[in-house]
Amino acid sequence: MPATAGGARMVCVEDKVNLTEALASFDEVFEPRVVGTMNDLKLMVAKTKGEFIWHSHPDTDDLFYVVKGELTIQMRDRDVVLGPGDLFVVPRGIEHCPRSDEGAEILLVETQGTLNTGDAPAGELTAPERPLGA
């Protein structure tokens, strides 16, 4: 059964998705847009600038792929700096805090229904699952 986000139907990617064009279609930071689904995963594009919040996802891994800019995945034991074309998977349960001082445009892959703020208390950075164009 297809997932829904805010009443809009999210489906598998039925046509190509140009990540640069998808990212150019909105300006808000830390408000991911779902561009498609694959099995039980959601494929999202997002813009980042500044520091997000420390959180973890106890039940799912978190994949970050940088399209443009630089993104640092801060973890308690190390930082991983990503540039265009780099990807990194934060394993489930690992506390992390994405940061981009100058701004970055990214592709995120995580399980449908996963809050972007993970296990952190809901707050102003908690974003609903929202399809691109909604």
Pair 66, 84: CB distance under 8 Å: yes
Partners of 90 in beta bridges:
62
Domain presence at residue 117: no
Domain presence at residue 45: yes
* Neighbour-count burial of 20, counting CB atoms closer than 10 A to its CB (0-12 exposed, 13-18 middle, 19+ buried): exposed
Specify the pLDDT at position 14: 72
Domain presence at residue 25: yes
* Neighbour-count burial of 97, counting CB atoms closer than 10 A to its CB (0-12 exposed, 13-18 middle, 19+ buried): middle
Domain presence at residue 104: yes
- The Cα 19–Cα 41 span in angstroms is 17
pLDDT of 32-67, one tens digit each?
A: 999 999 999 999 999 999 999 999 999 999 999 999
Domain presence at residue 120: no
Domain presence at residue 127: no
Q: In which domain, by residue range, is 103 found?
A: 3-111
Domains of the chain: total: 1
Domain presence at residue 118: no
- The Cα 33–Cα 70 span in angstroms is 19
Predicted TM-score (pTM) of the model is 0.87
Taken in order 58, 53, 72, 30, the sign of the CA dihedral is positive
SS3 106: strand
pLDDT of 91-127, one tens digit each?
A: 999 999 999 999 999 999 999 999 888 889 888 888 8
Domain presence at residue 123: no
- The Cα 58–Cα 47 span in angstroms is 24
For residue 100, the domain's CATH number is 2.60.120.10
